[in-house]
Chains A and B, each alone.
Chain A
Amino acid sequence: MEGTTRLSRVVLAVWCALIVLFLLFPIALIVLYAFNSSNVQSWPLPGLSTKWFSSTFSNAEMRSALWLSVRAALIATTIAIVLGSMAAFAVHRFRFFGRETVSFLLVLPLALPGIITGMALNSFFSWGGVALSLTTIVIGHATFCIVTVYNNALARLRRTQTSLVEASMDLGADGWQTFRHVTLPMVATALVAGGLLAFALSFDEVIVTTFTAGAQNTLPLWIFGNIRLGQQLPQVNVVVLMVIVVTIVPVTLAQRLTRDTGVLRPTAGAR
């Protein structure tokens, strides 16, 4: 095949296997650490147990951080679905001056390093005298979540046929009915997928959040603080397992919902 020798194919296959190991090993290992029976995080683990799970879920700090993260992610996702789909409909349907600028602008929060976005929002809020709160966290998250919904919705819209919309209008449906019964069902799964990805992105975000959260802890900030100070590590391990599950599940669902467009390829970077 393609002039490659048998030896070079074997070498490439081995290389490929090593990269797979490199990519997956740290994730498998951290899952194992959640079941570490000791409170010392060294290898080999002295034994496996689930004893840290109950103390983790009764940890009040952890619960309030989790609750804050869930609220922020839900509100940011809602804003992202509304604004992201509006932008996608506009960019898809109409040719207008500055259309390229709009799509460039929407991708900017993902293309620039997170620290720039975080810093910018922080100086914006302090300049405007806005106290850091749940609202400021949500504003930061929604700004980069809009893009994931926008990308998903636009990818789907480009695959749908305008003739369906025209047929609906010809059959006497008004604009709202066409939107409600034709356009929306076509893009619904893409919107849900975009929303799920936005939720995962927001739930996991740490760099922008450090600049917009003030004294409050979202779950990633709680994890970051504890790892840095080496505190409550058995609980951190359990929470980390929970975070993996909470982000992987929506992403897997999103993948199933958007098989056709395959939008999981993170075209503009995932953070």
Chain B
Amino acid sequence: MTAATRADIAAGGSGFRSARRRVSAALFRRGWLRATLLLSPPGAWFVLIYLAALAILFVSAFWTVDAFTGNVVHSWTLENFKTIVTSPTYRTIAARTIGIAAAVTVTDALLAIPFAYFAARLAPRRLQTILFVIVLVPLWTSYLVRVYSWRLILAQNGILNWTLDKIGLGSVNIAYSNWAMWIVFSYLWLPFMILPVWVAFERVPGSLLEASADLGARGATTFRRVLLPLVLPGVVAGSIFTFSLTLGDFITPTLVGGAGSDFIGNVVYSNVGIANNVPFAAAFATIPLLVMGVYLLLARRMGAFEAL
């Protein structure tokens, strides 16, 4: 390498360097420019793909499919919504979906409150850490795997009936039924209820409980009249997950539900795939969207968003 080329490289290097310095100084002085440059790629992704997709979903709910050609007809109509409201089948499916979502939410709240109370306020530190990990393990184990496991547990020749038989209780026939869906959904979303309720119990100041005791309330009264109202926002926050996740599911009804256990999600799924009626699927998918919208508004009023 000659001295000349070395000098060239050095000069080129420092030229590059000063240019870089000028660019970075310019960017540093203009914060808005840097923010724009940083935000445009993720912003574009969300606006051009995700929001555009949601908009098309909403618009296509008002389109129809030509019965003969199977092509989507781009003319505005409320036909899809009329079908959903007037057909008893679809009304039953919507009622079943919302009903089971509500039942699962109540069940999870009842299971989670005593657990979270114990974990947050009575358990020693070390046990708290262990319980926390135990709650997280199912959350990060594959969803499909957990549903599959319950399919094996509840099956006619599964471990549940084997155990019941061993302790002399005969057997139950709840595989592939609404009962099975209720149990499995309650299992799947329980950690989502436990975590916000746990946090809510942790946040209650001990002085309030002492005050209640000083004023003559017994343990049960304090729990009911002081603790429960204070953790209610946490319960509502958890219920957003248990309710929303059940509402949008179709895998669990397919795998552990029976023949007559279709959810809104199943109808949507089969209309996208087999029946090829995307506008109708889109119209039916707006029901969980609307229900969740109303639910979130109510939840915000009850202060659930601060508890998240």
Q: Which residues of A contact B (CB under 8 A)?
A: 1-5, 8-9, 12-13, 15-16, 19-20, 22-24, 26-27, 29-30, 33, 41-44, 82-84, 86-87, 89-90, 93-94, 96, 102, 105-106, 108-109, 111-117, 119-124, 126-127, 139, 142-143, 146, 169, 174-176, 200, 204, 206-207, 210-211, 220, 223-224, 227-228, 236, 240, 243-244, 247-248, 251, 264-271
Contacts and interface: CB of A to CB of B under 8 A. Distances in A.
B62 to A, nearest CB: 12
B56 A120 contact: yes
B57 A119 contact: yes
A269 to B, nearest CB: 5
Contact of A174 (B20, B45, B308): B20
Given A115-B265, A126-B278, A211-B272, A174 B24 contact: yes
B41 A86 contact: yes
Contact of B245 (A119, A169, A271): A271
A247 B191 CA distance: 17
Contacts of A176: 20, 24
A29 B149 contact: yes
A143 B49 contact: yes
A265 B195 contact: yes
25 contacts: A3-B212, A3-B218, A4-B219, A9-B122, A23-B134, A27-B141, A30-B146, A43-B158, A105-B50, A112-B248, A115-B265, A116-B285, A120-B50, A120-B57, A124-B49, A124-B56, A139-B49, A176-B20, A200-B140, A223-B148, A227-B255, A240-B145, A248-B141, A266-B195, A271-B143
Contacts of B146: 26-27, 30
Contacts of A90: 34-35, 38-39
Given A4-B219, A94-B32, A207 B288 contact: no
A189 B197 CA distance: 29
Contacts of A3: 209, 212-213, 217-219, 222
Q: Which 7 residue pairs are nearest across A and B when measured between Cβ atoms?
A: A113-B248, A175-B24, A124-B53, A42-B157, A90-B38, A120-B53, A26-B149
Contact of B288 (A8, A24, A113, A266): A113
B131 A87 contact: no
Given A2-B209, A20-B134, A116-B285, 16 more contacts: A2-B222, A16-B114, A16-B131, A42-B158, A83-B41, A93-B31, A108-B50, A114-B248, A119-B272, A120-B53, A122-B272, A123-B56, A204-B144, A207-B251, A224-B255, A269-B192
A77 to B, nearest CB: 15
Q: How large is the interface on B (under 10, 10 to 19, 20 to 34, 35 or more residues)?
A: 35 or more
Contact of A123 (B35, B42, B134, B278): B278
B125 interface: no
Contacts of B162: 43-44
A228 B147 CA distance: 11
Nearest to A210: B269
B138 A27 contact: yes
Given A115-B285, A175-B25, A24 B137 contact: yes
Contact of A102 (B43, B122, B191): B43
Contacts of A200: 140
Given A42-B155, A119-B268, A224 B24 contact: no
